[in-house]
Amino acid sequence: MAGLFGTDGVRGLANGLLTADLALGLAQATASVLGRGRSAEVRQAAGKRPVAVLARDPRVSGEFLGAAVAAGLASSGVDVLDAGVIPTPAAAFLIGNIDADFGVMISASHNPAPDNGIKIFARGGTKLPDEVEERIEAALASEHLLPTGGNVGRISRFADAEDRYVVHLLQSLPNRLDGIHVVLDCAHGAAAGVSPETFRDAGATVTIIGNDPDGVNINDGVGSTHLDVLQRAVLEHGADVGIAHDGDADRCLAVDAAGNIIDGDQIMAILAVSLKERGLLTKDTLVATVMSNLGLKIAMAEHGITVLETKVGDRYVLEAMNEGGYALGGEQSGHVIMSEHATTGDGILTGLQLLAEMARTGKSIAELAAVMTVYPQILVNVSGVDRDRLGHDAVLDEAIAAAEAELGDTGRVLLRPSGTEPLVRVMVEAADQHTADTLAHRLADIVRERLAIA
């Protein structure tokens, strides 16, 4: 069972890789590892059981997987508070809010409906480090001594879960959103219940799309991976801004009044400048991955903000933020983390903060996004190559150096191996699209030739 955990929990085809048996066993293994912490010992000393928060997105397989996880936890002596369908960041918040020992979110995020996933959060609502995931995998293969009688856990409804989260979101706002018309695309996902309510309570005029989840339509042609629907809706309704979530609402992308996309880099630029102006940007530093646009780094330098780069993946952004105590970080994909208010990416929180900055400054989202010039960027995936030989071929290294010399300070080159597939990703940014395209495909051809699998 080694390698069960990916970059964001255990994910796969529901009833394929991800069966009810696996979900139950994983829950029991998680209880054996995370149900023994300091808070669990305090509860047990007081004659109480460990407590876990359980939540899911609305995809149909979440119903049987949720039941299996609840059974696995309760059979291991853990009291389960079932929060039902709520966003992933809501689950993370609630774990810390009620001081639960850990929590489980059942979601495959932006993946299509047939997939699902199990995300596990530690006490405080934080993601698990690699070594804890390894301990859970090891426990999955072990026998567990299960309690009997009155020592088994109870399963109960977390009745005010959504209300607690909405209050938390509203309390995060520096000002109201009155006068702003927003179109919300809820991706037929976990945001459908909570996002419209929260934006309305904050004062915005709200038009909603993608808010009719039926268990099988999550992310289907809507949400942050299909922005064309939101673009049309913003233009049709004459709205000021559009906000798109993904299936579990941990992402946020935006659309301006003219239908132009505002990506995660631009969102981070807007929020970083706002936080610095208000004295809230810790060490005047923004944490982003190496895939963020060069324009972000240039724009931040112009505003006296340092960009700390990490490997690709929001878990690496989180690690850097936690180590340095930084306030803001994220990815181009729309995972934005504001550590004062959240332990993970929160698409609803991010959207609210964006609109709050519009209201605070009186500027449109397009005017705010103009703080950053987006450099043309092209990404070419080269498959069928030996990714382990990247960095060990002199001819390819020379070609990369030549491309970098040609670009000078007006662009950059990044080649990195995929973490899951036998391919190499070639990314080039340049001052114009033609140069980016030409260099990227030139380097891709050399990768294909030099690193071909024999």
Annotated catalytic residues are: 109
Give the whole-angstrom CA distance, residue 43 versus residue 101. 10
Give the whole-angstrom CA distance, residue 120 versus residue 104. 5
Give the whole-angstrom CA distance, residue 214 versus residue 197. 19
Q: Is 172 annotated as a binding residue?
A: no
Q: Is 386 annotated as a binding residue?
A: no
Give the whole-angstrom CA distance, residue 233 versus residue 284. 36
241-244: strand order across its sheet: 205-209, 181-185, 241-244, 253-256, 261-262
Give the whole-angstrom CA distance, residue 1 versus residue 43. 32
**What is the b/e burial string over 312-328, where b = at least 16 CB atoms within 10 angstroms of the residue's CB?**
bbbbbbbbbbbeeebbb
Q: Is 248 annotated as a binding residue?
A: yes
Please, which residues have CB within 8 angstroms of residue 40's CB and are 6 or more apart in sequence?
A: 50, 101
Give the whole-angstrom CA distance, residue 317 versus residue 111. 21
Q: Are strands 115-122 and 126-127 parallel, antiparallel or unpaired?
A: antiparallel
Q: How much of the chain is in helix, strand and coil states, percent to nearest 5?
A: 40, 20, 35
Residue closest to 140 by CA, chosen among 324, 2, 292? 2
Q: Is 364 annotated as a binding residue?
A: no
What's the sign of the alpha-carbon dihedral 202, 207, 213, 219? negative
Q: At what angle do helices 433-450 and 394-407 cross, to 10 degrees?
A: 170
Q: Which residues are annotated as a binding site for Mg(2+)?
A: 109, 246, 248, 250
Binding-site residue positions: 109, 246, 248, 250
